[in-house]
Structure 1
Amino acid sequence: MPRAGSGCLSSKLKMSILISSIINPKLLFTADLRNKSAHKSKMDKLGRTPIRKSPRFLVFLQNRICFMGRLIFSSLPMFVSGFWAILLLCTQIEKYNRSRLVLSLFMVVTALMFYAHCVFFNEMHSEIPVSDTFYSFGVLASYPLFYIFLVSLTSTSQHLRRSWLLLLPAVFLSVTVGVMYALMSADETAEFITRCLYYEQFFDFTGIAHHMAIAHLVIKISFAIIVIYVVVAGMNLLVKYDRHIKSVYSNLEGKTLISFKIFLYLFFFTSVASFAFNIVGRYHFDSTFWALTLPSVVFSVLIFILGLLGLRQSFTFESMNEELEEQDQDSAPQSMPYERDKALAEDLAKRIEKVIEEKQLFLQPNLKVSDLATQLCTNRVYISQAFNYVLQTSFSDYINKKRIEYATRLITTQPEMPVTDIAYDSGFASLNSFYRNFKNINGCSPKVYMRKVDTT
């Protein structure tokens, strides 16, 4: 960057520096010092004594503030991940929970990855061989670990064991990177760090550095493939899980993973950003203070939200299976009734509708498909098949529709009745569930429907 002249700065140059300083605060301090130097020269020519200030101290103070800000924000995601890793591991002392254990491992890996970010952005070159090995593992293992966490919430132990194989690319490539760092000389390492890591130059290397550059390219490509797989496979897991619990429970409060589905969408957008981050190169985010701060804050907030959701989520597929095993008297048959005899399934569907209506079973807040199976002296698998194939709906949706029909009758016949009483008398366990289902079925909120009833 060329040096400015010793004279006064022109208005256009001042405006250019002012605009640039919004992006890079260092420029504002530089322009200020140059203006002071020009002002001092002008005062000397006029024979006046300017007011003395301490530019060296200002430069020192500005540099210290920038250094501390860079250090704090570059390490913020690391400390957030470390906090949740410790907290989630501590919960294992009281009671073992496999999903929280997996999430704690995810937090440990992300803490190591963001430690590597901190080393990189603060240019701690002597630490980079170790930190880059951690980064190579973390960037390829963090997304699979998030997927494994979703598997621990939504699937069986057998599926969970198979999903650990997704960590093999991270293990293999990180070990490869670590070994090559150990084999390279100090000069080769320094040149590789400067050219490849900081300026994304992957070619024109020789010897071990050439293979190291290829390894880093493979890591970038593998990262893109893993991101796409985790987002698509993770969404499929959540959809299947929602379908499963809807076939078993009528009250879904505390059982759905809607928060994780929303988080997965956010995860997708951050995945795209992370992919761009890896393609463009990390050194671009080192150019200004704000370019480093904004991604750091965003990742810190997302990690904190994920930790909080994981800590609060107590119901999982595993707990559902344990509950069903306690309730089931007989094992599920190999041949489903609909597949074996369509007439038998249709007859069971009629019996289901009759017993639900006559005994008003939908008014029970915690009604489960096993309760209905007990009433009809049959198996819960038969009940689920009758709902899915004959009635063309899930157990949960059918029961909640009956509840909303009952609530609508209460509003029509007893318009003075409070909404809270209507919700609980209709079999809903919470107002949120009542409002959500009422709007989905009737197209408006209960209060709007009440006003329509009053006007007619």
Structure 2
Amino acid sequence: MLRNFVILFPAFVSLFWALLFMMRWKRNSRSQNIWAVALLLLSNSMSIAALYWHDYEDYSLIYKLDVLETISTLSFIPVVFLYFERLTGVKKKGQIFRKILLFIPPVLMGGSTVLFYLIVGEERAAEFFKYIVEHDGALSPGFYEYRYVYMCINVYTYSAFLVVQAVLVFIYAGRNILMYRKQLDDFFSNLEGKSMDHHRATLKGLMLFLILVIAIAGSGNLLYVDFGFMVLVFLFLLGGVIFYLCYHVYFISYSADNFIMELKLSDEEALENGYGIMGEDDFGNADTGNMLRAKLLPQLTQVIEEDKVYLQNDLRLDDLARLLHTNRTYISRFIKEEFQCNFSEFINRKRIEYAQELFRESPEMTQEQIAEMSGFTHASSFSRVFKQCAGMTFREFQKGH
């Protein structure tokens, strides 16, 4: 009983989360709906794979399901690619070409597997597959003429495609999350509530999942071989990783869709109030740019040093642009060229300087009190930013002063 549960555990976990996502389909972000589709493909693959360990004897059905499993497994990772594309909203040249490349393997391998079984014939295909399952992945000597074709399609090429897909999608996902984080840093002074912890956890979970996928591919006919306890441990770990991944995807409340909407509303507000009048071209013109810099620097100094707008924990780039009667493109570029940092880093430096001064004046204050008064919503964020800006933890700073 326990063995059967563990064998089906990854399929159950995938299906459970797929149904959970589908139950709130209209309330999900588009990226979460794409993830639900990926989970349906994964649960299908894992359910079919579970039949190999359940001593299922209808081999005429299993060899047909082998085709479906091949297509589902090789389609899962490209759909994960679409998920991260939608989640981060980062688009590069050649995106369509990459999508086509990623979806070629399931089409090519699915078609090749179907063609192979059609050539072999239904009766012999069932016999062929029965021998594989009952002899730990070994090929029947009676099918010697098909041996190399099968090995080429269902082992070597399949495994190679799976590994290449996994590596490419992980690289793509990691790069996109970094670029997405950079875009948020250019617009927000505080990323609390932007689900970045869940984004990072999703990437870690994906890495663990892909390592397991590569391990499967690297071991050849693992799905056909009865490794006993080792297989059960592997399946239990796989189910746990899938649960970890889905948990963090489920609780991502802020994605590129939300960010794009905020930018759109911000642009509309800028046009209505008439403070989005300076374009990036003005900055590129040497004379105009120098004149604007000379005018903007004193204004920026006033709102930062005198008005201390950085103490607002929800300060956005647009808020600063509005105070300076300019647009976010211009002020963002101005900060980068004048202070060699992005908007978030610039504001956080000022917050940490203020926090240090606050501690010198009132050393009896707690870290939580100083964090709140310095514009941070959580002490954990304050600790992380303090170490980045000051090169030491807040506790170390306290001891030194």
Asked whether the two chains share a fold, i.e. TM above 0.5, the reply is yes
Secondary structure at the counterpart of residue 314 of structure 1? coil
- Whether 1:319 and 2:255 are equivalent positions in the alignment is no
Q: Match of 2:30?
A: 98
Q: Structure 1 unaligned runs (5+)?
A: 1-67
- Distance in 2, matches of 1:333 and 1:357, equals 24
What displacement does 1:298 show?
1.5
Secondary structure at the counterpart of residue 52 of structure 2: helix
- After TM superposition, give the deviation of residue 444 of structure 1 in Å: 3.5
User: Match of 1:73?
Assistant: 6
Matched, 1:169 2:105: yes
Is this contact kept in 2: 1:133–1:177, CA < 8 A?
yes
- Aligned counterpart in structure 1 of residue 124 of structure 2, from 179, 187, 202: 187
Is the 8 Å Cα contact of residues 81 and 108 (structure 1) preserved in structure 2? yes
The range that moved more, 127-136 or 374-383, is 127-136
Secondary structure, aligned partner of 1:252: coil
TM-score (norm 2): 0.85
Contact persistence 2:128–2:143 (CA under 8 A): no
In the alignment, which residue of structure 2 is the partner of 1:397? 345
Q: Using the alignment, how far apart are the partners of 2:302 and 2:141 within structure 1?
A: 74
CA contact (8 A) 2:63 2:129 kept: no
Q: What are the superposed Cα offsets for residues 408-453 of structure 1, whole Å, 9 maximum, x if unpaired?
A: 1111100112222211111112222112111222233333432332
1:151 positional shift: 1.1
Compared with structure 1, are the counterparts of its residues 381 and 120 closer, same or farther at alpha carbon in structure 2 (3 Å cutoff)? same
Aligned to 2:373: 425
Distance 1:294 1:131 in 2: 25
Which whole-Å CA distance do the structure 2 matches of 1:169 and 1:80 have between them?
26
Q: Does 1:149 align with 2:87?
A: no
- Further displaced range: 74-83 or 136-145: 136-145
RMSD, aligned CA: 3.1
1:361-440 alignment runs, 5 A limit = 361-440=309-388
* C-alpha displacement of 1:143: 1.8
Aligned match of 1:120 = 52
Query: Which residue is equivalent to 1:4?
Result: none
Q: Amino acid of the residue matched to residue 45 of structure 2? A: M
Look up the SS of the partner of 1:121 in the other structure. coil
User: What does 1:266-415 align with in structure 2 at a 5 Å threshold?
Assistant: 266-283=205-222, 286-328=225-267, 329-330=270-271, 335-341=280-286, 343=290, 346-347=293-294, 348=296, 351-415=299-363
User: Counterpart amino acid of 1:214?
Assistant: C
Equivalenced residues, count: 385
Q: Equivalents in 1 of 2:170, 2:140: separation in Å?
A: 29
C-alpha contact (below 8 Å) 2:41/2:75 kept by paired residues:
yes
Question: Tell me, which stretches of 5 or more residues in structure 2 are unaligned?
Answer: none
What secondary structure is seen at the aligned counterpart in 2 of 1:92?
A: coil
Distance of aligned partners of 1:343 and 1:334 in 2 relative to their CA distance in 1, 3 Å threshold: closer
CA distance in 1, matches of 2:185, 2:257: 16
What is the aligned-residue identity percentage? 22
- TM-score scaled to structure 1, two decimals? 0.76
Shift of 1:158: 9.9
- Aligned 8 A contact 1:349 1:387 in 2: no
**Which residue in 1 is equivalent to 2:68?**
134
Task: Give the direction of change, closer, same or farther, for the CA distance of 1:272–1:350 in structure 2 (3 Å limit).
Answer: farther
Alignment-derived partner of residue 199 in structure 1: 137
Structure 1 or 2, whichever has the larger Rg, is 1
Supply the distance in 2 between the matched residues of 1:429 and 1:407 (Cα, whole angstroms).
14
More relative contact order, 1 or 2 (CA 8 Å, 6+ apart): 2
For the 8 Å contact 1:81–1:304, the answer to whether it is kept is yes
Q: How has the CA–CA distance of structure 1 residues 315 and 332 changed in structure 2, closer, same or farther, with 3 Å as cutoff?
A: farther
Please identify, of 145-154 and 326-335, the stretch whose mean Cα deviation from structure 2 is larger: 326-335
